[in-house]
Amino acid sequence: MEKLKLRLKSEPVNRAKEISKEIVEDLMDLIRENTTTSIERTVLRLFGIIGADIDDTPYVNIIVKQLMKKGVLEMGASLYVLNACVHHDEEPEVIAKMVAEENLDLTEIPMGDYEKINALSQRLTQAAMDHIAKIKDERDKLLYETWSDPPRPYKYVIVATGNIHEDVVQAQAAARQGADIIAVIRSTAQSLLDYVPEGATTEGFGGTYATQENFRIMRKALDVVGEEQNRYIRLVNYASGLCMPEIAMMGAWEGLDFLLNDSMYGILFRDINMQRTIIDQYFSRLICAASHITINTGEDNYLTTSDAIEKAYAVTASQLINEAFALKAGMEPKYMGLGHAFEINPDIKDGLSYEIAHALLTRELFPEATLKYMPPTKHMTGDIFKGYAMNTMFNFVSVLTGQDIQLLGMLTEAIHTPFMQDRYLAVKNADYIFNNTFSLGKEFSIDDDSFISQRAHKVLEQAIELLEHTREVGLMQSIEEANFADIKRTQTGGKGLDGVIKKSPKYYNPFEGAFRRLLNLDDEVFEGGVH
């Protein structure tokens, strides 16, 4: 017996996806023709440059800032670092320290033997690609051979103490209580920092800083619980903001499983320049696709600023655009954690029918995606008993409609950061509902003339109308018109536009081609080496 279905007609679904593809294709020239300071820093990190100076400024920032100040970043940071390596017969991390500590000017070194530069580039690039492949293969082995992949919906909980070592205590406790996924909430406004802090951190407001060392610490801690319970525990963090590609690289390097990574979230909710975001998200998704990291998109946030019924179509339109961006970066559908949320006002009559319609629409539009479903937050009042009831309904809709990633709701939402016992109650609630309704969706069918079916079709029709308008005016103009989340941004406004650089015809980035070849995007590969 099939799962609960809406039986959407193929014609509107195909039209929605084709329009979304055209919207994204219209932006590919912007992506191909420009790089960003964060992309250039990511390339240097892939070459093995880590660490910071005595002022805690990362070496990669120092190098990129020097090259930008000299007006040569359009050639690519890797070219100048590789040339310095050949000139001094040193590895990139040594050159980085020389730049930071001895004020070495990379632009004053005469361009050397291009054959040697290319050979070094190939060695360093292959070493990085091999490491990423090794981490990916180790995860797959644990998931499918050594341990086990838990049944869906995956139970996803958050930790957010600000101290990575306290996060470990809470994360391990949640995993032992039955959580399948641990998300380390990032320190408030880290997305606005144009650098990634170095090392382990113990102070953060509203969350813990996303750093490579913090990723390593938490991955190791969850593997301890995995060994105890003979099951794989997934780890989540955020690859968004001004350092989106860098954090994607760190996640790939340290074995993260999910990264919050959206094509519009930073624009809408953090006022990051839209050109910067569109360029950065593409390179970050090349990394995620190569690493088999599942992205989580942020459409649930739309419903905190827009009405969940009136603007449901904007969520659907954004999901379709996010899917098109991800496909363009070579990402398989199963690694797309497209987002949506259970955020309808609980006082609305038949609200549950609306929620089921919206959840089924997402499920049917993206049958292969690993969908992420978010809990009630906007209408949580601090009444823990009503909150617990709302979360129960949320869990019911999730299993009924076949969602994949269930961010568990907390009865203390709108009161404080959850205690360990709050998470325990959330896990037990989900366990009860998931177990008792496991096959319920197979027992029912939805009539084509039912409220649920008609509502879903209406939302899809409205989403197509928005997509058609967006195709006509372009995505950036559509965002300027506040068509997504009722938030207006401008093409030249926001943070980070000064970090967008037009590529020279001789621009060099060895990982651009390496990732594209790996992902069979050969039609877009910039072949050749340094010349």
**Helix/strand/coil for 184:** strand
Q: Nearest 10 degrees: CA dihedral of 202, 209, 62, 260?
A: 160
- Annotated catalytic residue 302: no
Retrieve residue 501's tokens. 């650089």
Q: Where are the alpha helices (DSSP H) in 292-350?
A: 302-305, 312-328
Annotated catalytic residue within 59, 156, 265, 313: 265
Annotated catalytic residue within 180, 257, 262, 300: 300
Backbone angles phi, psi at 500, to 5 degrees: -95, 125
Annotated catalytic residue within 155, 328, 372, 495: 372
How far is residue 201's CA from residue 171's CA, in Å, rounded to a whole number? 16
The distance of Cα 24 from the centroid of its chain, to the nearest Å, equals: 17
Three-state SS annotation for 193-256: CCCCCCCCCCCCCCCECCCHHHHHHHHHHHHHHHHHHCCCCEEEEECCHHHHHHHHHHHHHHCC
In contact, 472 and 486? CB cutoff 8 Å: no
- Annotated catalytic residue 300: yes
Question: Residue type for 283, please?
Answer: F
Q: 212: which residues sit within 8 A by CB, 6+ positions away?
A: 50, 196, 198, 250, 253, 254
Kindly state the helix (H) or strand (E) to which residue 501 belongs, with its residue range. strand 500-502
362 — alpha (psi -120 to 50), left (phi > 0) or beta? alpha
Q: State the DSSP code for 58.
A: B
How far is residue 135's CA from residue 249's CA, in Å, rounded to a whole number? 12
- Annotated catalytic residue 262: no
Q: Facing residues of 295 across strands?
A: 259, 336
Q: Where are the alpha helices (DSSP H) in 335-450?
A: 351-365, 384-401, 420-436
Residues taking part in catalysis: 265, 300, 372
